[in-house]
Structure 1
Amino acid sequence: MIKVLRYTEYLYLAVAAISIYKIATLWNVDPKETYIFIFFAVVSIGMFIFRRRYRKRFEQRNKDNQQ
C-alpha cells in the first residue's frame, strides 16, 4: 500500500513538470491558454506535498503500532 502512495506522489510531480513545460512553450504564443496549466502546476505541487506528509504520517503511525 505504501508503495502505491509513493508512486502517486511522483505522478503529481510528473503532471507538474508537464504543466511547467507547457507554460514555457505556450507563454509567448497564447498567454491566456497558459493559465490552466499554471493552475495544474500549482495544484499538482500542492498535492505532492500533501500526499508526502500524509504518507509519512501513515508510516509513522504503522511503525508506532507495531512496537
Structure 2
Amino acid sequence: MNKIWRYTQYGYLVVAVVLLIDAATRWSADRSQAYFSIAFAIFMLLIFLFKRNFRKKIERRNNQ
C-alpha cells in the first residue's frame, strides 16, 4: 500500500503542471482564469509537499 501512495502523490505534481500550462495558454485571452489556474497549481504543489512530508514521517515511525 505504501508504494501506491508513494507514486500517487506525484499525480498532484502532474495536475499542477497541467494547470500551469493551462494558465500560459489562457494568459492573453482571459487573465482572471489564468490567475485561477496559477492559484490552484500552487495549492496542488502545497498538497504534494504536505503529503510527501506526512508519508515520510509515517515511514520513519513504522521503521522504528
| Secondary structure, counterpart of 1:36 in structure 2 | helix
Structure 1 unpaired stretches of 5+:
none
Structure 2 unpaired stretches of 5+:
none
Task: Supply the distance in 2 between the matched residues of 1:5 and 1:37 (Cα, whole angstroms).
Answer: 25
1:27 aligned partner: 27
Aligned length: 64
Which letter maps to 1:35?
Y
Identity %: 41
Contact 1:5-1:51 within 8 A present in 2 as well = no
**Offset, 1:32:** 1.1
Q: Where has structure 1 moved over 6 Å in runs of 4 or more?
A: none
Task: Supply the distance in 1 between the matched residues of 2:36 and 2:3 (Cα, whole angstroms).
Answer: 30
| Secondary structure, counterpart of 1:4 in structure 2 | helix
1:3 aligned partner: 3
1:56 aligned partner: 56
Please give the TM-score of this superposition, normalised by the length of structure 1.
0.87
Please give the TM-score of this superposition, normalised by the length of structure 2.
0.91
Contact 1:20-1:37 within 8 A present in 2 as well = yes
Which letter maps to 2:51?
R
Measured on the aligned residues, the alpha-carbon RMSD in Å equals 1.0
